[in-house]
Chain A
Amino acid sequence: GAGVSQTPSNKVTEKGKYVELRCDPISGHTALYWYRQSLGQGPEFLIYFQGTGAADDSGLPNDRFFAVRPEGSVSTLKIQRTERGDSAVYLCASSFAGAGGPYEQYFGPGTRLTVT
Chain B
Amino acid sequence: QKEVEQDPGPLSVPEGAIVSLNCTYSNSAFQYFMWYRQYSRKGPELLMYTYSSGNKEDGRFTAQVDKSSKYISLFIRDSQPSDSATYLCAMNGPGAQKLVFGQGTRLTINP
Do A and B belong to a common assembly? Answer: no
Residue numbers of A with Cβ under 8 A of B are none
